[in-house]
Amino acid sequence: MTATTPAWDITPLTEPLTREQVRTWRRANRDIRSGAASPLWVITAVPVLVLALVYVGAMVSTLARRADFGGPSALALLAPLAIVALVVVAFAGALLAGRGATERLMRLVRFAQANGFTFSPRDADPSYPGMVFGIGRRRTAIDHIRRSSPRFLDIGNFRYTTGSGKNKKTRTWGFMALHLDRRVPHMLLDARANNLLGMSNLPATFSKDQVLSLEGDFDEHFTLYCPREYERDALYVFTPDLMAVLIDEAGAFDVEVIDDWMFVYQATPLRMGEAATMERLLRIVDTVGAKTVAQTDYYADERVGDRNVNLVAPQGARLRRGVPWVAIAAGGVFVAIWFALTFLR
């Protein structure tokens, strides 16, 4: 069973579109657009512009009524005029960004229709077992496309909220979810290319005694986690040819295999509907995805005892979580500095 269709129709992502086509589509698909994600600065651009114009109008009116208008008073107009000029430029940028976002959304919807996907602007609490999908609250898949055949595939963005008050944070991850035929041990490839100062960008920490070193230069690109005593199983899945494809096509992404799923993550939102982004993700599906499906198609956990049972023993089903010592140490340094500056002056 293959991971993909024989070929993707990418014409909707690349064909020329006129402004009139985009406007017509926008008017006809207000229900789709109302659910899609919009940048905050685009949403707030109009009220900011109105407030700036009111402020500048009041300043000009006040200065114009002064008897000594001219000289310093005239120069005083430059500040509010500069403010309104900046706001107008920002507003124009917001309009262009909004138009570009609408065009990308239009292309994404048309691509989905041409390739057997269903587009959804927003779905709450997607029930995936991947590590990203169980974090925080208000968990929502946004601007994503999915299909059920010939193999379930979901590509989009996932947003969640953590903390409260001043510590409230909202994060958005790009993701790809591909369904496998067989359940496999929980394994994680932490890409080194997206680490910051040598620290992983993953939202979860796993015990370091589960790190498995592989042959060649693979360790320079990924850190592989697999459950203890499942090292041979990991080598069965991550063959040299699969490792080579991972390096070539998915070196900037984190990859998780859990239960009968493969997830590909990016710690920033995917620009859904943009041709370059979509073509790269489709290459990952056609290469990494297809080879992972083929490599796991006959996997069976020998600890279960029956190859016909599509299960993984409990000790291999989930990686053990670790303690984020680096984050704890950084927090300790911050507290120590704050204490010294506050009480030892």
Minimum mean pLDDT among 9-13, 212-216, 249-253: which range? 212-216
Contact 131, 256 (CB under 8 A): yes
Q: Which range has the top average pLDDT, 5-9, 164-168, 204-208, 320-324? A: 204-208
Both structure tokens of 314: 């409990």
Full DSSP string of 154-167: EEEEEEEEES-GGG
Distance from C-alpha of 52 to C-alpha of 32, rounded to nearest angstrom: 32
Minimum mean pLDDT among 23-32, 85-94, 118-127, 307-316: which range? 85-94
256 alpha carbon, distance to own chain's centre = 14
In terms of Cα–Cα distance, which of 188, 191, 202 is closest to 230? 188
What is the DSSP-derived secondary structure letter of residue 320? P
pLDDT confidence bin for 331, thresholds 50/70/90 = very low
pLDDT digits (tens, 9 = 90+) for 124-183: 999 999 999 999 999 999 999 999 999 999 999 999 999 998 899 999 999 999 999 999
Distance from C-alpha of 247 to C-alpha of 195, rounded to nearest angstrom: 15
Question: Does 85 or 199 have the greater pLDDT score?
Answer: 199
Question: Does 333 or 218 have the greater pLDDT score?
Answer: 218
pLDDT digits (tens, 9 = 90+) for 46-92: 566 666 666 666 666 665 565 555 555 555 555 565 666 565 555 54
119 pairs with which residues across the strands? 145
pLDDT confidence bin for 198, thresholds 50/70/90 = confident
- How high is the pLDDT of residue 51? 67
> Is residue 1 pLDDT above 50, yes or no?
no
pLDDT confidence bin for 101, thresholds 50/70/90 = confident
| CA dihedral sign of residues 156, 186, 4, 288 | positive
Using the structure block, give the residue that is written with the tokens 């048309």.
110
What crossing angle do the helices spanning 78-114 and 19-28 adopt, rounded to 10°?
80
> Is residue 338 pLDDT above 70, yes or no?
no
- How high is the pLDDT of residue 84? 61
Contact 281, 144 (CB under 8 A): no
Question: Does 322 or 278 have the greater pLDDT score?
Answer: 278
For the chain, give the mean pLDDT.
83
Distance from C-alpha of 240 to C-alpha of 236, rounded to nearest angstrom: 10
> Is residue 227 pLDDT above 60, yes or no?
yes
pLDDT confidence bin for 24, thresholds 50/70/90 = very high
- How high is the pLDDT of residue 161? 97
The pLDDT of 276-305, averaged and rounded, is 95
Minimum mean pLDDT among 62-76, 119-133, 192-206, 324-338: which range? 324-338
What is the DSSP-derived secondary structure letter of residue 199? B
Rounded percentage of the chain residues whose pLDDT exceeds 90: 64
- How high is the pLDDT of residue 3? 47
Distance from C-alpha of 287 to C-alpha of 25, rounded to nearest angstrom: 34
The pLDDT of 310-334, averaged and rounded, is 73
Centre a 10 Å sphere on the Cβ of residue 252 and count the other Cβ atoms it contains.
Answer: 12
pLDDT confidence bin for 31, thresholds 50/70/90 = confident
